[in-house]
Amino acid sequence: MSITVVGSIAYDAVKTPQGHRERMLGGAATHFSLAASFFDTVRPVGPVGADFAPDDLRTLCIRGTLADDVVTIPGGETFFWSGVYGEDLNSRETLDTRLGVFAEFVPRLSTAARACDVLFLANIQPALQALVLDQCDGPRFTALDSMDLWIETARDALVEVIGRVDCVILNDSEVRQLTGRGTLSAAARELLELGPSAVIAKRGEYGAALFTREGFFSLPAYPLAAVVDPTGAGDTFAGGVVGYIAAQRARPVDHELLAGAMAYGTALASFNVEEFGTERLARLSFDEVQARVAALHRFTQFEIPFVKETV
């Protein structure tokens, strides 16, 4: 069994207050795969151009990821994004976007990719996400990501595909934008009514929140002294969440399992932002991940203090 992820494999040029990179490996499927590959075999599906370097393909496959569904388009250019982050790293300005081969991307999954146990639909057009779902052979668990662009321009198609997956993983602002609700809790509860069994709201430096019909769970971000580059953190988080679920084949995907998955997603995302692009994830060990998950567990435990009743 394996994990299939459909999304972008890209090159990024990034400037942050900590430095810059003119060309580095990126893309949603890349960051997701590097995180999820700690838990199971991953099959990314997406196009690259003739400019995609063999060393970058090796990095993508460093922990056994299978690149059979990564298609090289002769004469094409790999998707490229360039941006600069502000001092607080919460805001960024896009300087350049060149879709290249991604502009004409229509997912066609191999037999092995269709037979996945777990499927993640990264941020692509909702119509393409639906096309992927149509091709798959009933995965045990499905999740998707999206963005404000599709909420604005393809809302009906996005709502339809949300109704076909088990879990929605969005930024908290996107959850509110999609529903028009003023509070995250009300917005997430409305999304649950569309069909998924879980909504996970990414909240950046404030962590993440889980909403299911069983209840609510929230986890802070791992406290870091410095953040170098937040690019790909959300996709890394998703890779940790979905990867952990893939590894727990014998357990039902319920509220408790999703809460544990969020701890791994949070830990992996914290490593991702410590260096540029995929640099930290590429040499990360699972022992380091486990240690950070254990630290998160310690940080979030507390005793309920006894308060003497007064008359």
Task: Grade residue 149 by pLDDT with cuts at 50, 70 and 90.
Answer: very high
Task: Grade residue 233 by pLDDT with cuts at 50, 70 and 90.
Answer: very high
pLDDT reported for residue 170: 97
Judge contact between 223 and 193, C-beta under 8 A: no
Q: Is the pLDDT of residue 165 over 90?
A: yes
Q: Is the pLDDT of residue 284 over 70?
A: yes
Q: Is the pLDDT of residue 1 over 80?
A: no
Q: How far apart are CA 68 and CA 71, in angstroms?
A: 8
Pairing mode of beta strands 208-212, 215-219: antiparallel
Averaged over 157-185, what is the pLDDT?
96
pLDDT reported for residue 10: 97
pLDDT reported for residue 304: 86
Q: Is the pLDDT of residue 214 over 80?
A: yes
Task: Grade residue 275 by pLDDT with cuts at 50, 70 and 90.
Answer: very high
pLDDT reported for residue 305: 82
pLDDT tens, residue by residue, 66-95: 999 999 999 999 999 999 999 888 888 999
Instruction: Indicate if the alpha-carbon torsion angle 38, 44, 47, 53 is positive or negative.
Output: positive
pLDDT reported for residue 90: 80
- Compare 293 and 138 and report the one with higher pLDDT: 293
pLDDT reported for residue 49: 98
Q: Is the pLDDT of residue 308 over 80?
A: no
pTM of the full predicted structure?
A: 0.96
Structure tokens at 222: 């791992």
CATH topology of domain 3-299: UDP-N-acetylmuramoyl-L-alanine:D-glutamate ligase (3.40.1190)
Tell which residue, 210, 209, 207, has the closest CA to residue 233: 207
How many CB atoms lie under 10 A from the CB of residue 63?
18
- As beta bridge partners, residue 85 has 92
Q: How far apart are CA 254 and CA 206, in angstroms?
A: 24
Q: Is the pLDDT of residue 136 over 80?
A: yes
Give, for 151, the enclosing helix (H) or strand (E).
Answer: helix 148-153
Helix pair 255-272, 28-36: axis angle to 10 deg: 110
Q: Is 302 exposed, middle or buried (0-12, 13-18, 19+ CB in 10 A)?
A: exposed
Q: Is 130 exposed, middle or buried (0-12, 13-18, 19+ CB in 10 A)?
A: middle
Task: Grade residue 206 by pLDDT with cuts at 50, 70 and 90.
Answer: very high
Q: Is the pLDDT of residue 311 over 70?
A: no
Task: Grade residue 212 by pLDDT with cuts at 50, 70 and 90.
Answer: very high
- Compare 138 and 49 and report the one with higher pLDDT: 49
Tell which residue, 25, 23, 22, 28, has the closest CA to residue 42: 28
Q: Is the pLDDT of residue 102 over 70?
A: yes
What average pLDDT is seen over the chain?
96
Q: Is the pLDDT of residue 208 over 80?
A: yes
Q: How far apart are CA 11 and CA 26, in angstroms?
A: 5
pLDDT reported for residue 307: 79
